[in-house]
Amino acid sequence: MATEMFLLVLLAMASSLAMASDPSQLQDFCVADKDSKVRVNGFVCKDPMVVKADDFSLSGLDMPGDTGNKFGFNVTPANVMQIPGLNTLGISMVRIDYIPKGLNPPHTHPRATEILTVIEGQLLVGFVTSNTDNRLFTKMLKKGDVFVFPQGLIHFQFNPGYTNTFAIGALSSQNPGTITIADAVFGANPPISDEILAKAFQVDKKLVDWLQAQFAKKN
């Protein structure tokens, strides 16, 4: 009986680990067929006989992204939506550009750990651990430095300098997803009740209403 229980526990652990990651490949590649009407976790495979080298390629990461926004940063993704050949391979990357004082605001990647390398410039980076510790880990990075943001934890990057910065990030998912905290909380559609947010943040509802107006989705 003890042996059977041990095997059941091992099976449960293996199953939970399998469900917590991207689908594993069962052949050399499974190039995403984004035109297929079939709905699966990820994308169905394109006929390998029509797969081309371009399905595994992307150009343009040498070019800075458009940082002309209120935060002064831009993310250029290279995930399964841009490179269909990444389907089932569990990896992607991004180029991130920052003007002086540019900020990639606090956000999470629900499906991926991120490892970031500064190519030019400098960055103040950090992440916060989960409740109830909520410990902040932060570090100033210079050219050539690397930093890891664990999966699902809130993190940020800020360029405190007076020159442009750019970095390359690798992520452990073909489609890591991004949840920007302020957008999700104050820009939800439909809006989260101001009564709920006022109590959650222990502030007046008028302040919540003002914040929601700043993040309201533009139609």
Binding residues: 104, 107, 109, 114, 155
Q: In what order do the strands lie in the sheet with 165-171?
A: 73-78, 92-98, 165-171, 114-120, 146-149
Q: What's the token pair of residue 49? A: 């006989």
Residue with tokens 């999966």, as numbered in its chain: 151
Q: Which residues pair with 141 in a beta bridge?
A: 123
Binding residue numbers for oxalate? 104, 109, 114
Q: Which residues pair with 157 in a beta bridge?
A: 104, 125
Q: What are phi and psi of 191, to 5 degrees?
A: -65, 145
Residues 6+ apart with CB under 8 A from 109: 149, 151, 152, 171, 173, 176, 177, 178, 179
Q: What's the token pair of residue 151? A: 């999966």
Whether residue 64 is preceded by a cis peptide bond, meaning omega within 30 degrees of 0, is: no
Binding residue numbers for Mn(2+)? 107, 109, 114, 155
